[in-house]
Amino acid sequence: MERTTTTISPADVERQLDFCQKVAAVTAQWPQQPLAFVDTYGCQQNEADSERIRGYLAQMGFGFTTDEEKARVIVINTCAIREHAEQRVLGNVGALVHVKRRHPEQLICLCGCMMQEPSVAEKIRQSYRHVDLVFGPHALWKFPEMVHTLLTQRGRIFQNADEAGSIAEGIPVVRQDKVKAWVSIMYGCNNFCTYCIVPYVRGRERSRKPEDILAEVEGLVAEGYKDITLLGQNVNSYGKDLEEPMDFADLLEKVNAIPGDFLIRFMTSHPKDATHKLFETMARCEKVAPVLHLPFQAGNDRVLKAMNRRHTRAEYLDKIRDLKSLIPDIVLTSDIIVGFPGETTEEFEDTLKVLEEVRFDALFTFIFSPRPGTPAAKMEDPMSHEEKLQNFNRLLALQDAISEEKHGAYVGKTVRCLVDGFSDDSRWDLTARTPGNRLVRVVGGKEAVGQFRDVKITGANKWSLFGELV
Ligand code: 5AD
Ligand code: SF4
């Protein structure tokens, strides 16, 4: 199939906003304001997409609920990255059949990466007949039109054609948080790591124009947001597809130049594209948080090659050394897959060696999950699940010890943190984040939420820090 990236024209987005008005005219006639439940699985990109879905729904006259019994519209934004995530979604969608029996007028909508998989969409079509609307990430911008069609003529809609993907500007957004915001700077991925389904469901890399990104960040800063994360599957290849090419380091510099007291974060970076220039820019730009999430997935070169990661262990470690020499207190996090097909326990131990050398502050660890349609799903995978689990537990134990030691080093220090919310643990009042994004549970008054405050760190464990407002 010929794949071309398209920009959705402002007129086409405007037409969707007209559909919002048409739906709003319908919902205004209903006896009560209708409610929508938007449930999100997976990564921050999905969270950001859900904020746009909520933005559209708000324009259509909907309020929001997390009670599926009260929802006139349910939207489930799904994740395809691992089989476990997919099974949870299918279980929950299956259970909705009973809810809908009680509320036959309910509209059930499924979107996100799973819906871009043809086999999943087919399964929904055949076996989940209570689902009214299925759309992939590529069709999100047309959500109002689809809702309008369903409300005026019922039936089912499947909008999940395989596309290279597009960019649509000007979609309204309802953000969940008042302190932290996500800003997508690019969509899609060109890397085709052999285990990963993302390039198949999110299409090719395409970058938003810098002026659109800068305007969005300026707006957020004006609204009082203090912590802004630039999002993309591989932010380090930002800009390669723009008419006037610019790189991610240049973009960071421009975002850093926006006046105001706020922090800039970004994710995710691919080691092969993380450059010395990026590290220098991070060191120089005072608003860029001293933290880097740099997935290395596996520590053995044969495995890295089989994963199509296009970097070696030595190259990865060189980059980390370079970065640490420029930003000595850098907080480092990474993603790791245990049990990639054919990985032996000896090869897995190379992953442990990387942990010992780098001493990450935290890790996101996964056991390999075969994704249909990816090359790794067809590879020989002789190791038993038990053995993979044993290796996985060794990895966790080592990282727990490192995290605990790293967190312990904060005790006694005073750190300027962003107080971002209320603690769900009653022994602490608030939650805060260090510049390196470590969680701090804090004793202090609620008026501090949304502010940068000095926090005296009084304790730590492997998951988080504890402290009090100074
Ligand atoms: N199995 C296990 N983990 C995976 N990831 C991506 N695809 C898979 C898979 N098939 C992990 C990678 C990636 C993170 C977002 O999810 O570590 O960096
Ligand atoms: Fe998946 Fe690799 Fe792209 Fe990350 S860089 S989204 S792991 S293909």
From first to last of the 470 residues of the chain, give the pLDDT tens digit. Answer: 344 557 899 999 999 999 999 999 999 999 999 999 999 999 999 999 999 999 999 999 999 999 999 999 999 999 999 999 999 999 999 999 999 999 999 999 999 999 999 999 999 999 999 999 999 999 999 999 999 999 998 799 999 888 878 899 999 999 989 999 999 999 999 999 999 999 999 999 999 999 999 999 999 999 999 999 999 999 999 999 998 889 999 999 999 999 999 999 999 999 999 999 999 999 999 999 999 999 999 999 999 999 999 999 999 999 999 999 999 999 999 999 999 999 999 999 999 999 999 999 999 999 999 999 999 999 999 999 999 999 999 999 999 999 999 999 999 999 999 999 998 888 999 999 999 999 999 999 999 999 999 999 999 999 999 999 99
> How far apart are the C-alpha atoms of 171 and 242, rounded to whole Å?
21
pLDDT of residue 84: 92
pLDDT of residue 5: 59
Ligand 1 centroid – CA 27 distance (Å): 41
User: From the alpha carbon of 376, which atom of ligand 1 is closest?
Assistant: 10
Structure tokens at 191: 């890397």
Q: Are the C-beta atoms of residues 205 and 268 closer than 8 Å to each other? A: no
Ligand lying nearest the CA atom of residue 83: 1
Instruction: For the full predicted model, state whether its pTM sits above 0.75.
Output: yes
> How far apart are the C-alpha atoms of 459 and 408, rounded to whole Å?
7
Q: Which residue puts its alpha carbon closest to atom 2 of ligand 1?
A: 368
| Mutation test residue for ligand 1: of 195, 311, 338, 343, the one with most atoms within 8 Å of CB | 195
CA atoms within 13 A on the CB side of 353: 13
With a Cβ cut-off of 6 Å, ligand 1 is lined by: 81-82, 195-196, 295, 297, 335, 337, 366, 368-369, 371
Q: Which residue puts its alpha carbon closest to atom 6 of ligand 1?
A: 196
Q: Are the C-beta atoms of residues 361 and 436 closer than 8 Å to each other? A: yes
Ligand 1 centroid – CA 360 distance (Å): 18
> How far apart are the C-alpha atoms of 247 and 24, rounded to whole Å?
41
Chain centroid, CA 253 distance in Å: 23
pLDDT of residue 109: 98
User: Residues 305, 306, 308, 314: is their CA dihedral positive or negative?
Assistant: negative
Tell whether ligand 2 has an atom less than 6 A from the beta carbon of residue 199.
yes
Q: Cβ–Cβ contacts within 10 Å for residue 80, how many?
A: 25
pLDDT of residue 161: 86
Ligand 1 centroid – CA 191 distance (Å): 13
Ligand 2 centroid – CA 77 distance (Å): 20
User: From the alpha carbon of 374, which atom of ligand 1 is closest?
Assistant: 10
What is the DSSP code (8-state) at residue 288? B
Q: Cβ–Cβ contacts within 10 Å for residue 155, how many?
A: 8
Count the helices and strands in the chain (H runs, E runs): 13, 21
Q: Cβ–Cβ contacts within 10 Å for residue 414, how many?
A: 12
pLDDT of residue 162: 82
Ligand lying nearest the CA atom of residue 337: 1
Quick check: helix, strand or coil at residue 68?
Answer: coil
Ligand 2 centroid – CA 455 distance (Å): 36
pLDDT of residue 299: 98
Paired sense of beta strands 180-184 and 166-167, if any: unpaired
User: From the alpha carbon of 196, which atom of ligand 1 is closest?
Assistant: 7
Cα dihedral angle (273, 275, 278, 283), rounded to 10 degrees? 140
Structure tokens at 76: 């489930």
CA-based nearest residue to 232, from 254, 214, 206: 206
pLDDT of residue 210: 96
Provide the b/e sequence for 81-92 (b: ≥16 CB within 10 Å). Answer: bbeebbeebbee
Structure tokens at 400: 């727990």
Ligand lying nearest the CA atom of residue 375: 1
Alpha helices in 105-209 (DSSP H): 118-127, 143-153, 198-202
Tell whether ligand 2 has an atom less than 6 A from the beta carbon of residue 78.
no
Tell whether ligand 2 has an atom less than 6 A from the beta carbon of residue 371.
no
Q: Which residue puts its alpha carbon closest to atom 17 of ligand 1?
A: 335
